Chain A
Amino acid sequence: MASWDWEVFCKDTATSEVMAGCLGAGGKDITYLQWMMSAWGWTMSVALLALLVALLLGTLMGVLRTTPVKGLVWLGNAWTELFRNIPLLVQVFLWYHVLPALVPPLKDLPSFVLVVLALGLFTSARIAEQVKAGIQSLPKGQRYAGLALGLTLPQTYRYVLLPMALRIVIPPLTSESMNIVKNSSVAFAVSIAELTMFAMQAQEETSRGIEIYLAVSLLYFISAFSINRVALFIERRVQVPGLIGGGK
């Protein structure tokens, strides 16, 4: 195999000249390194915003699936099955090509928002599954105790069930959060300038695929690993004393 050429990252994307200090001349002149860093920013923006959408909707749907109201349970189940059984890439195309044709106001939204929604809703189905399992793992008595104290059903969820259930599901939610970084790579299909898109284009322009792919893979690894560390920190901060997984 040919020798390494890491200088490729210091090349200007327009002129292919190696720039001093690895920085472009300014303005629109950027090096591949700067392009990659901006792509990393897009990857993280898509992933973190989608994670926010997924956590909110996923918790809501997970809760609905455990309520005593049949209609709500049905809604939660249908939501989960719908978003779990269509490939993510197809869902991205649905948001990008199909929904704006059906719902004209969506045409004004940038494709970045559409990808965030697609990835967020796809992941919300998985999170709903985890949250449901978390709530069901609590003893039934907890729910009855809340209701017996005169709390309404929403209050029982807010003050009794969810504080415990959400702590229990932190480990599976951590791996979903790491998955969302990896899954954000499908955004390349609708031309979001994120890491995978960068990898494909820069590989074609420079023919230095191995260096480019190595750097991109490393950035994905660093991103997922950082999320893992943050989640571990949160897990420790909110651990419940007295449980096997908890502190003293």
Chain B
Amino acid sequence: MTYDFSFLNWGVLSSFVAKGLAFSVQLTLVAMAGGILLGTVLALMRLSGKSWLVLPAAAYVNTMRSVPLVMVILWFFLLIPLLIGRPMGAELSAVITFTLFEAAYYSEIMRAGIQSVPRGQVFAGYALGLTYPQTMSQVVLPQAFRNMLPVLMTQTIILFQDTSLVYAIGAYDLLKGFEVAGKNFNRPVETYLVAAVVYFVICFSLSMLVRRLQQKIQIIR
């Protein structure tokens, strides 16, 4: 068997793959922003010490974390249309799923981040006359966020890799783009190989960036 990568020219890439890459990146960014926001709320609920806030947040996080992501994707794809009463596209369903799913993982990171802030910081905030929301948003969370930045970014790289799982509901992502190109030109071996290289290059460069960020933050501390 011979290998021929020549069909993967700029035209093919821009017509099949670019659309998929755009969706994968979009999905990653939206789920990251929404996930960190919702995750921070969940973390604050779990650390509030009030059982009516702690229990639902803990139940949510533990449920999400005990089911495989593929199953969660299937669950939402099944449930959202039942709840809103009309069908929903795979892409939009994926965005909602990933935001809600990643929130569980980001919340564990934010919880560890908040717990790593010295207790004296909270007391200092109160002593200055700040209220609880002010202390949290202006004293504790900025420090927690900064300390956890490398871990949050690492989780985002994992999130980007996991977006390939939208394969289960047929959404058009980066992997799907390569797959469709491979089917059209009957060259699946080459396209899967190039897909792997593209994912590797993106994830490896991002993880190098995170490593440098980590070193920078270490010096500041």
| Chain A positions near chain B (C-beta within 8 angstroms) | 1, 81-82, 84-91, 93-94, 97-98, 101-102, 181-186, 188-189, 196, 199-200, 203, 209-210, 213, 216-217, 220-221, 224-225
Contacts and interface: CB of A to CB of B under 8 A. Distances in A.
B214 interface: no
A90 B71 contact: no
Nearest to B190: A98
Given A85-B203, A93-B175, A188-B70, 8 more contacts: A85-B161, A86-B199, A98-B189, A98-B193, A102-B189, A189-B168, A199-B71, A217-B67
B164 A1 contact: no
A182 B67 CA distance: 7
Nearest to A203: B78
Instruction: Indicate the member of A1, A94, A185 with the most B CB atoms within 10 Å.
Output: A185
A182 B105 CA distance: 15
A86 B196 contact: yes
Dominant secondary structure of chain B at its interface with chain A:
helix
B47 interface: no
Nearest to B197: A86
B118 interface: no
Interface residues of B, number: 30
A36 B189 CA distance: 33
B167 A189 contact: yes
Instruction: Indicate the member of A81, A88, A98, A189 with the most B CB atoms within 10 Å.
Output: A98
A182 B69 contact: yes
Interface of B: 1, 66-71, 74-75, 78-79, 82, 161-162, 164-165, 167-168, 175, 188-189, 192-193, 195-196, 199-200, 203-204, 207
A237 B66 CA distance: 26
Given A183-B68, A188-B70, A1 B175 contact: no
Dominant secondary structure of chain A at its interface with chain B:
helix
A94 B78 contact: no
B31 to A, nearest CB: 15
A182 B68 contact: yes
B156 to A, nearest CB: 14
Given A183-B68, A216-B71, A209 B161 contact: no
A217 B70 CA distance: 11
